[in-house]
Chain A
Amino acid sequence: MPFMDKKFILTRQGLTSLKSEYDELTKVKRSQIIKRIQIAREFGDLSENSEYDAAKEEQSLLETRITQLEDVLKRAQIIEPVKKADFVVIGSTVVVEMNDEVHKFSIVGSMEADPTESKISNESPVGKALLGLQVGETIEVSVGPVKSKIKLLEIQ
């Protein structure tokens, strides 16, 4: 699929959260950072003005994120919450065995992936490999030097 046609898969909750972040960045943060830059400019000599440099860098990061969010929101594809399925779909929470270890995580769209909440992207090697799998099935995944057999133990 050409990159420009790519859809961003999101839950309704994820979409709401990204919309709130977009509103916060465009309606609050953007004007705050412009004000910081103006104040920093008044300190004089921009070549040695660390506050000005820091504020400009922050502005650049902010604008990049805003552009990214605009792109995602334009091409968002909402998925409905899954009822327990016989096979793995985006939104499933799974328990798998990988190299003698037991892992539990949810498979979500790439924009909602968050390792601290055990949410793994559907575009990650494991995410891709598990989609469509049924309990008891085993699949091999390999990325460079890392190789693993993954056995699907449970879909929750």
Chain B
Amino acid sequence: MSDLPVVVFPVKNLDLTKSEQKVVEKLVEAAKSIASIYQKQENQKFPGANFYPHDAAVEEILAAAKSEPEILSPYTIVERNRSGKLVSIPYHIKFKKDLGKTSALLRVAAKITENKEFSRRLYLQADALIDGSYEISDMYWITMKPYKIDIVIGPLDRLDDRLLFRKTSFEAWVGIIDEEKTKKAKIIQQSIYDVRRKIFTLSEKADFLDKTKLRVDKTLIFSGLFARGMFTSNSLPVDPNLMEKYGIEITFFDTSLDIKFESQHYPIYKSIFESKFQKDYPRDLLREGSFRNVLLHEIGHSLLRYKDSERRLKELFPVIDELSATIYGIKSCGSLVLKGIMSEKELEAIMIMFICRAFTWWIDSQKQKSVEPFAVGHAIALNHFLANGAIKETGGISWPNFNKMFLSIEELSDALEALISMGNYSDAQHVIDKYGSFMVYSKFENRLKGIT
């Protein structure tokens, strides 16, 4: 892809002081500056993008990593030397020139900000980009007191490495906290966290709930992989061992979700559900349902982290991981409805939006391969719904049966958690083979024309 991976969101009424505005300007500039690095990493033609030589097979890479483990590091590019041997080059050396510029912008922002903790955070991140000390910076960010301005910048998500799911892509976001929405989101989070649940394999479970932080942001910019994927939320760090040690920071990008809802979720809803059915679900209820899908997905992630799951499921891990998080989150709403924290109608809106978001992932996966695990995961759920009679597909999904759908969600949730906590690669492959077919999406292709 040649277009620059940067999305700037038009956000108003930010309530920032002049000094804070200057800080934000520099951070947005820093975020923009890493887009060119991401362009050097991305390549949709190859499953290993530009992280590995295009002629290198998985077996060769794994064999080379035995003598040089850094080949599998999330923060190195793998190349061939003159004799054809695979060697690794750290990102901070490979992209030294570009990262110097980004680092300098972060230092300028660090000097301007009046918040000492945030200043320290920016200096540490500036250091990390030029010396590779990412963990020190990330952990400071996760453990610092939440501040109204937030930036995440550097090599983070591994979705572009479809070969081995190891290498991280450069990306960035800048956001300003939305206090009111953050407060509301925390009510649902706390209500789900309060429950003591059955754990499949206790020794495997990464436990860090008391160290989990959550914020809903008005997002100002996406850069790198984030701009390509137009994500609506993120949980960091990704390593369960680091999560257990330092906690987890969940961020929701409300501005991005607004765009997704208006351009995809709602138009998909209008296209695939019968008009009589639609009368019962006002737009605002569905918008909230869409946000809650994202919220429940991230809450699910924080509850379903098992230490060894990535090693067992290999490159199939993201498919099972992303689906199980959302499904578990929706299942958890059952007790919220019974306790009067959520209404039955709100739960139905969540299930409707789950279906619409599934189609969104499918549409997006045709443009951006890195989001394919989400599309495959959601196909598993939709096919399971079809098999159980929870949705019909003749001439559009008509009158979904919510009783059957919730039952299907409960069944899937238990099966997926068993898989992620103790299943192996062939178990995951079996589930994907049985339910992961994209036919479920293409049946509706004609109805979705014009939605991109």
Contacts and interface: CB of A to CB of B under 8 A. Distances in A.
**Interface size range of chain B in the complex:** 20 to 34
Interface stretch (A7-15, A38-46, A93-101): A93-101
Nearest to B402: A145
Interface residues of A, number: 27
Interface string B7-46: 0000001000000000000000000000000000000000
A143 B341 contact: no
Contacts of B337: 125, 143-144, 146
Contacts of B186: 116
B403 interface: yes
A121 B407 contact: no
B251 to A, nearest CB: 20
B62 interface: no
Interface stretch (A16-24, A72-80, A102-110): A102-110
A120 B336 CA distance: 10
B405 interface: yes
A63 interface: no
Given A99-B334, A125-B337, A115 B196 contact: no
A48 B196 CA distance: 51
A105 B407 contact: no
Interface residues of chain B: helix, strand, loop or mixed (majority)? helix
A33 B344 CA distance: 36
Interface stretch (B158-166, B187-195, B434-442): B187-195
Interface in B92-143: none
Interface string A119-138: 01101111100000000000
B1 interface: no
A32 B13 CA distance: 21
A130 B237 CA distance: 41
A125 B343 CA distance: 11
Contact of A50 (B13, B339, B347, B410): B13
19 contacts: A99-B335, A102-B196, A113-B340, A115-B187, A116-B187, A116-B190, A116-B191, A121-B340, A125-B337, A126-B338, A143-B338, A144-B344, A144-B403, A145-B348, A145-B402, A146-B334, A146-B337, A146-B338, A148-B335
